[in-house]
Amino acid sequence: MISMEVIGRIFPRKIVRAVSSFLSMGGISIDAERALGSMIFYSVAFSVLLFIIISLSTDMLASMSKIFMQLGDLASHILGGILLFILTVLAVLIFVSVVFYAYLLVKIDARKRELEVVLPDFLQLAAANVRAGLPIEQALWRAATPEFGILSTEVQNAMKRTFSGESIQDSLTYLAGRFNSRYLTRTASVLKFGIESGGEIGEILERTASDLRKMQIMYKEASASMLMYVILIVFAALVGAPLLFAISYKLISTLAAIWMNIPQTQDLSSFGLISLSPPQISASDFKLFSVLAVTVTSIFASFILAVIRSGSTREGIKLLPFFLLAGLGMLVIFMAAVENLLSGLFI
């Protein structure tokens, strides 16, 4: 039986290394080739099920067969089925890849935030251990207490590599690679430089911890000062835009109904300098446009809000479902409310 690792080996080494790096930063202990192979296997299995459902419940297979109609009935059905299956597999693979990538981004960002909250305190404790006379690897090991969460676990794993014979520089590089944090990467670089140059490690750790704490305070103050922008974005995306689209939809449907009720024998196409004409867009088309516009607005609003709150667009992936559901839900509510309020006002 073919294992998942064998299936995963069909991917180029560059993609496998990139996925391996993402899995490492996300704290997921699984081989990259196995993860990719599992994704391919389950995507194809789900595609077969989806292909059967589509073939039995829709006319997609007949539509695909029409493309090859000149080749005969049997050949057109076979080639149409193959084309539909390939398109189904591609669609499922793209969907699964996007979901898998989004999941990794959320995991990576969550670990990054958890790390950066406790990193200054950890460095401060490690600096105290160094000043007490412990070597850097022992200082980091003893500073990795349970209250520091995942940072303690990763530091202990990195220091075990040092105790097994690996250099402290390589262990720090491994530790930095376990998180997608610029703070930790720069801290590891400074420590490696200090170790190689024989600098005062305790002083380096204390200064780094102090600088990180100041940066976090400044960022919190900047985020607090932009509270009004957050309120404005949320209101515009979840209330303002759906309300305006609901009113416009009612206006278009009302004008269309009024124009249909005008007797065809009367010439009311112009009145002075004003030219009258029926709406150039139907109410159903505008409703579809409203749904698409609110969807796009919600997507951009979630990522803009994420940048304001956390400085990372990846946070927007977590906010995106809420914004989409809230935006589209408010659009439906406003359309129903405006319809009930103005149903007998003009007609």
- Answer yes or no: is 347 within a domain: no
Higher pLDDT, 215 or 346: 215
Does the structure show a pLDDT above 60 at 169?
yes
Q: Is residue 51 located within the same domain as residue 155?
A: no
DSSP string, 14-75: HHHHHHHHHHHHTT--S-HHHHHHHHHHHHHHHHHHHHHHHHHHSSHHHHHHHTTGGG-HHH
- Answer yes or no: is 303 within a domain: yes
- Answer yes or no: is 192 within a domain: yes
Q: Is residue 238 located within the same domain as residue 336?
A: yes
Looking at 160, 192, 221, which one is the last position of a domain? 221
The pairing of beta strand 270-271 with beta strand 274-275: antiparallel
Report the SS3 class of residue 135: coil
Q: Is residue 239 located within the same domain as residue 143?
A: no
- Give the H/E segment covering residue 202: helix 201-225
Closest CA to 23 of 108, 102, 109, 96: 108
Cβ neighbors of 41 (< 8 A, separation 6 or more) are: 4, 7
Top-confidence range, 4-18, 52-66, 118-132? 118-132
Q: Burial, 323: exposed, middle or buried (Cβ in 10 Å; 0-12, 13-18, 19+)?
A: buried
Given this model, what pLDDT does residue 296 score? Answer: 92
Residues 168, 137: Cα–Cα separation, whole Å: 7
Residues 333, 336: Cα–Cα separation, whole Å: 5
Residues 255, 275: Cα–Cα separation, whole Å: 14
- Answer yes or no: is 208 within a domain: yes
Given this model, what pLDDT does residue 1 score? Answer: 45
Residues 179, 177: Cα–Cα separation, whole Å: 5
Q: What is the pTM of this model?
A: 0.71
Q: Is residue 33 located within the same domain as residue 11?
A: yes
- Answer yes or no: is 74 within a domain: yes
Q: Is residue 240 located within the same domain as residue 216?
A: no
Report the SS3 class of residue 275: strand
Given this model, what pLDDT does residue 292 score? Answer: 92
Provide the CATH number for the domain around residue 165: 1.20.81
Looking at 69, 84, 108, which one is the last position of a domain? 108
Does the structure show a pLDDT above 60 at 20?
yes
Q: Are 209 and 121 in contact (CB under 8 A)?
A: yes
First vs last Cα of the chain: how many Å apart? 70
Q: Are 185 and 191 in contact (CB under 8 A)?
A: no
Among 144-153, 205-214, 303-312, the minimum mean pLDDT is found in 303-312
Among 102-111, 189-198, 260-269, the minimum mean pLDDT is found in 260-269
Given this model, what pLDDT does residue 345 score? Answer: 56
Residues 254, 279: Cα–Cα separation, whole Å: 10
Does the structure show a pLDDT above 80 at 279?
no
- Answer yes or no: is 300 within a domain: yes
Looking at 108, 134, 169, which one is the last position of a domain? 108
Across the chain, mean pLDDT equals 83
- Give the H/E segment covering residue 271: strand 270-271
Average pLDDT over residues 278-286: 74
Percent of the chain with pLDDT over 90: 6
Among 74-78, 153-157, 258-262, 332-336, the minimum mean pLDDT is found in 258-262
Report the domain count for the chain: 3
Percent of the chain with pLDDT over 70: 90
Average pLDDT over residues 157-164: 90
Residues 127, 323: Cα–Cα separation, whole Å: 44
Ramachandran assignment for 267, one of left (phi > 0), alpha (psi -120 to 50 degrees), beta (any other) = beta
- Answer yes or no: is 240 within a domain: yes
Higher pLDDT, 340 or 260: 340
Write the secondary structure of 220-260 as one string of H (helix), E (strand) and C (coil): HHHHHHCHHHHHHHHHHHHHHHHHHHHHHHHHHHHHHHHHH
Q: Is residue 188 located within the same domain as residue 244?
A: no
- Answer yes or no: is 215 within a domain: yes
Q: Hey, which residues does 274 pair with through a beta bridge?
A: 271
Ramachandran assignment for 275, one of left (phi > 0), alpha (psi -120 to 50 degrees), beta (any other) = beta
Does the structure show a pLDDT above 80 at 25?
yes
Higher pLDDT, 201 or 313: 201
Phi, psi of 311 (to 5 degrees): 80, 5
Given this model, what pLDDT does residue 263 score? Answer: 57
Q: Is residue 247 located within the same domain as residue 196?
A: no
Structural domain boundaries enclosing 132: 112-221
Q: Is residue 256 located within the same domain as residue 155?
A: no
Return the residue matching tokens 């993860």: 35
Q: What is the per-residue pLDDT across 37-84, written as a single tens digit (0 to 9) for each?
A: 888 888 888 888 888 888 787 777 777 777 767 767 677 778 878 888
Residues 253, 258: Cα–Cα separation, whole Å: 9
How far from the centroid of its chain's Cα atoms is residue 50's Cα? 25
Q: What is the per-residue pLDDT across 30-40, written as a single tens digit (0 to 9) for each?
A: 888 888 888 88
Q: What is the per-residue pLDDT across 218-276, written as a single tens digit (0 to 9) for each?
A: 877 777 777 788 888 888 888 988 999 988 888 888 877 776 666 554 454 554 555 55
Given this model, what pLDDT does residue 340 score? Answer: 83
